[in-house]
Structure 1
């Protein structure tokens, strides 16, 4: 962890032991990159609320903290593509745009661990694969984080406004 990704205010996972967290690590309450966990919390909640543009902004702002070739960069880039693809589908009825973005997202997320910073990446990859065949499959789909599918709060929207 570097100091620019440290965030001691971010809480440990509510369940499990996802990749990126270690109960023995003191900094960032056990997170290798506390800022990544914070961006993930807000980004997933906003995605689940259907605010794909704000979710995109959360992941994109964090993505710039990591060099290319890192798992963290691949995860953030993949989640940016997921949010952008959903945005294309829902707001513009652009199925070709969804397919292009989801195909790229699958490539970025291919090497990311199944439970990364609390996100059920296995489910994300499976949903992307299904949506490539039938884009309507993402309607109502919500991303799982720490075993739940959380909703956005005012704090999530405030975070997204700060990073956009």
Structure 2
């Protein structure tokens, strides 16, 4: 575990849930900052704040080396947010499809539930949006079995990133 990915303020998963990334014997996340970025990024995505969500995921991916599961996950999440932003902000269907193809490639090897994200459902959503791009406008990502929306703290987190 890298000390630069530690943040003791990050909460554990809901009771009874032990997604990959959670270390139950140690009662902490393997990479707290990844969980933190994921919480904020998912909430922002679900609220339609795709640019800010992209920033949350992208900033965190630089903490991980090439070929790591964490980096693949974060790059996939970044591409999903970027694709939704291209489509909803600029009506760029080709850009959406290209970014979703990339996202799917990154997420294909990630566990079905990773750091609380329902990656299996997200992969299915990516394929459905590829077929019907208008579905990008209703993209929602499950986190800990729920579909949380953004709060002021999430926008503040995104704004604080370099």
| TM-score under structure 1 length normalisation | 0.96
Structure 2, unpaired ranges of 5+: none
CA distance in 1 between partners of 2:30 and 2:130 (Å): 33
CA distance in 2 between partners of 1:59 and 1:151 (Å): 16
CA distance in 2 between partners of 1:151 and 1:81 (Å): 19
What's the offset of the Cα at 1:12? 0.4
What's the offset of the Cα at 1:141? 2.3
Query: Match of 2:135?
Result: 137
Matched, 1:10 2:10: yes
CA distance in 1 between partners of 2:146 and 2:133 (Å): 23
| TM-score under structure 2 length normalisation | 0.97
CA distance in 2 between partners of 1:140 and 1:107 (Å): 22
The residue matched to 1:89 in structure 2 has which SS? helix
Deviations 1:22-59 (A, max 9, x none): 22114xxx100000000000000000110000000000
The residue matched to 2:12 in structure 1 has which SS? coil
The residue matched to 1:139 in structure 2 has which SS? helix
Query: Match of 2:36?
Result: 38
Query: Match of 1:22?
Result: 23
CA distance in 2 between partners of 1:95 and 1:70 (Å): 30
1:95-110 correspondence runs (5 A): 95-110=93-108
Q: 2:57 aligns with which of 44, 56, 59?
A: 59
Corresponding pairs, count: 161
What's the offset of the Cα at 1:151? 1.0
CA distance in 1 between partners of 2:158 and 2:50 (Å): 11
Q: What do you get for the CA RMSD once the two structures are aligned?
A: 0.9
Structure 1, unpaired ranges of 5+: none
